[in-house]
Chain A
Amino acid sequence: MRKITNRGFLAITLLLSMSAICQEMVLMPPELSAHAVTRDVTEYKSREQALIAFIGDKENQQMPLLADDFEVWSDKSRDWQSKDDWLKTARQQANFNIRNLSVRQMDDFAIVNFLLESTDRLDKERSTQFVVDIWRQSTNKLSVRYISDVEPSVQLNPTDRKF
């Protein structure tokens, strides 16, 4: 093992001191951030909220935001669900909340993904789904929805409001 010279010792001490000073400059990384989202995100979040309001209104059988050939695909089934079948399931849920919504626009389509939190009608069981919606922009109608359940481990930290 090589012997550390006085000069080497001094250099190491200086480096360690510099490192300590640098670390002290920022004591705590920012754990909070709240985002001003884009126009697209605001517009499609509003549209998704309008859709939720329609779903919650059981007396209203018209769903002007859904395309005639609207279908839902999920990890629960090999086949797609029709509009009516899906509505029956969706109307068993309540207290919806949308988080972490993002939008990518591609020609006539907008691909919207978000986390959808809801509870059952008795407000006992809470669930979170990852949703991907394909909206046709020229008609403002939802064409396809893809759904998968999200594990509780990826529930959002309430301080992280990236929506």
Chain B
Amino acid sequence: MRKTLLSLIVLQTLIATVFAEENKPASTEVEDLAPPSNTPVSYFWSKEVSSAEKSVISTKKSTINASNINGYLMTPHTNPVNVMSHVNTTPIFWGASWYNPRYYSDKIFGLMHFYQNFYGSTYASAINEYLPAELSHQSSSPIIDTSIASANPSNVLAKICSVVNSTINSKSDYYPVYTDIKRGTANYCAYHSAGICNGVPVQFAFFFDLNDDFGCDPSSPYAPAIRTMKSQTSGAVAGIPSMHQQSQGLAALANVTAHELFEAVTDPGYFPSNGSPPYWGGWFDSFYDEVADKCSWTFGPSNTGLSPGTVLIGGYYWKLQGVWSNEAQTTGTGGYPTQNGNLVGCVTGS
């Protein structure tokens, strides 16, 4: 308990330092990343799709036509649709490693910076078509808990309840829980879920430790290469002079953070007032894919004209996956292809 409190005090001081850095002009490292002004904004295939596969897939682009597109579009599953137009995010960093500066590197600072500046970015506006009003988002101070973490959703919910029990009071609360647990052979990088804590529905997300995890790495050009000596070195986002914007682990977490935040907003768990079991009542397609699932591991043209997936949030560059837009798919404009190339509804808010 004493360790947790001490960590919180140290953290608050450091965060204040980081946010003070925000007011400074962009560092020279940021400017060095800018391309020549004549760089065209266009769609690039991400490296995850090999050229052999691309040639195979491109021959099948016509398999989905106007008559069978409906199953691929997002549809609401409650009336009025259950979404979160306002979100108050309280990140929780759970696990014994979070007291270790060599482990947390720039992750806590970087993720707080990401959440603080997410609202108002063009990237966040990509999901406005699913919301009754423009998304408003705010973030609260993080909580660090250095007890042993668990990936089990029941244990994650219990931890959230135990550390924020007295302050849970709103359907708008969202608790992303970042752990130091390695993914191992799990086939996912993160998940979002929902439960009830003291009678109040709680939306939350869980994240594995993605340091040097190839299966969950977006290969960001703004972070050191994976599995190198420098991969977890703090980047400029933490206020540390660096040739990179963020560490590899932070870059990977940011990408799945965006994925889970978009899905928690557009498809939060719905808890009927009559006490029936909860269900997903927001936006997803007939294959149960949510808005971020359909564009997982695809990186579209950036809103800054830089390399694929580049998004500018809070003055720093991040490589983030796209999100599905019914509008882009049905109008045929503004979107880029999904990974199988059949659909063109992925957008990055540009």
Contacts and interface: CB of A to CB of B under 8 A. Distances in A.
A65 interface: yes
Nearest to B200: A27
Interface string B175-191: 00000000101011111
B56 A25 contact: no
Contacts of B161: 25-26
Interface string A106-123: 000000000000000000
B277 interface: yes
Nearest to A47: B53
Interface centre among A27, A32, A158 (most CB of B within 10 A): A32
A134 B263 CA distance: 32
B215 A34 contact: no
Interface of A: 24-43, 46-47, 49-50, 53-54, 56-57, 64-65, 97, 101-104, 139-140, 158-159, 161-163
27 contacts: A25-B198, A26-B157, A26-B158, A26-B196, A26-B197, A27-B196, A27-B197, A30-B153, A30-B195, A31-B277, A34-B192, A34-B193, A35-B187, A36-B259, A36-B296, A39-B216, A43-B297, A46-B57, A49-B340, A50-B57, A50-B340, A57-B63, A64-B56, A102-B187, A140-B52, A159-B278, A159-B279
Nearest to B264: A34
B188 A39 contact: no
A101 B288 contact: no
A19 to B, nearest CB: 14
Given A27-B197, A28-B278, A57-B60, 8 more contacts: A29-B195, A31-B278, A33-B191, A43-B49, A57-B63, A102-B187, A103-B187, A162-B187
A4 B203 CA distance: 45
A162 B192 CA distance: 11
B196 A43 contact: no
Nearest to A161: B288
A112 B288 CA distance: 20
A54 B56 CA distance: 10
Nearest to A48: B340
A40 B213 CA distance: 12
Given A29-B157, A53-B60, A158-B288, A46 B339 contact: yes
B63 A56 contact: yes
A30 B154 contact: yes
Contact of B153 (A29, A57, A139): A29
A46 B58 CA distance: 12
Contacts of A39: 48, 214-217, 297
Name B's interface SS.
mixed
B127 interface: no
Interface string B271-312: 000000111100000011010110011000000000000000
A161 B188 CA distance: 11
B121 interface: no
B136 interface: no
A159 B197 CA distance: 20
B173 to A, nearest CB: 15
Contacts of A103: 187
A29 B154 contact: yes
Q: Which residue, of B269, B288, B292, has the highest number of chain A Cβ atoms within 10 A? A: B288
Interface string B63-88: 10000000000000000000000000
A40 B215 contact: yes
Nearest to A156: B288
